[in-house]
Amino acid sequence: MKKIFLCIFFIIAITKASAESLFDFSWNFGNIELGMNFSGDNEDSIEMCVSLLNFVFEQKEINLGFELTPIKYWDFYKFQNEVETNNYGERLSLINLNTYWDLIENKKVLLGPFVSMNYLFINMLNGINMNEFVFSGGLRFSLKLEHIIKLNNYNNQILSAEIGYRNISGNNKLYFSVNIDLILTMMAIGYAVTGYYPLNIN
């Protein structure tokens, strides 16, 4: 079923594009992500992720985007019961791919389906696990705030949320996450500490 969904997703997108279309390139320093994974077998977990250097290629005619991240840090906390949590593992993933499709074509908001894959995990204690992966798919919502960060080709999706299906190394889950741009996070921390908030970074 997942393969059928992915095939339909890409066929519709590709047939709308012309052969001469080019991709627009953008980037950012990374994101901080907070999320929760839900399942029916008492395997719920909360996660904190930090991605470093995201490279984004967007096809403007069909509003299809591809995001590549060379390194992503994960910290999972598994729920043991209604009160206690414990450290469920720190890892790095070296292959991080995300594809999204913007359905509303709005300059300030992105909304549409996405699929992502994270692979080649390095566990802080046990090294590389070739059988570990995270596959996610669902709906993505992003705010495009160009007026806050004005760097050359800087990606303007600095605040986003995702909800949908996730498969963590064969375990099926539902999940929800919120992503915040690293620069925006540092600006917020700076404001909390000093009381000064720069409106633009040029």
- How many CB atoms within 10 Å of residue 38? 13
Residue 181 forms part of a structural domain? yes
DSSP-derived 3-state class of residue 44: coil
Interval 61-114: pLDDT, tens: 888 999 999 999 999 887 755 444 444 578 999 999 999 999 988 888 999 999
Q: What is the pLDDT of residue 135?
A: 96
Q: What is the pLDDT of residue 85?
A: 46
Task: Give residue 60's identity as a one-letter amino acid code.
Answer: K
Residue 142 forms part of a structural domain? yes
Backbone dihedral region for residue 32 (phi beyond 0: left; psi -120 to 50: alpha; all else: beta): beta
Phi and psi, residue 37, nearest 5°:
-115, 130
Q: Which structural domain, as residue segments, surrounds residue 185?
A: 38-194
Residue 13 forms part of a structural domain? no
Residue 89 forms part of a structural domain? yes
Interval 128-163: pLDDT, tens: 889 899 999 999 999 987 766 777 888 888 899 999
pTM for the full model? 0.80
* E-assigned strand segments in the chain: 24-38, 45-59, 64-69, 71-79, 85-101, 109-123, 127-144, 157-168, 171-181
Q: Is residue 183 within 8 Å of residue 158, measured between CB atoms?
A: yes
Residue 20 forms part of a structural domain? no
Residue 162 forms part of a structural domain? yes
Number of domains in the chain: 1
Q: Is residue 68 within 8 Å of residue 53, measured between CB atoms?
A: no
Residue 43 forms part of a structural domain? yes
Residue 177 forms part of a structural domain? yes
Distance CA 181, CA 156 (A): 9
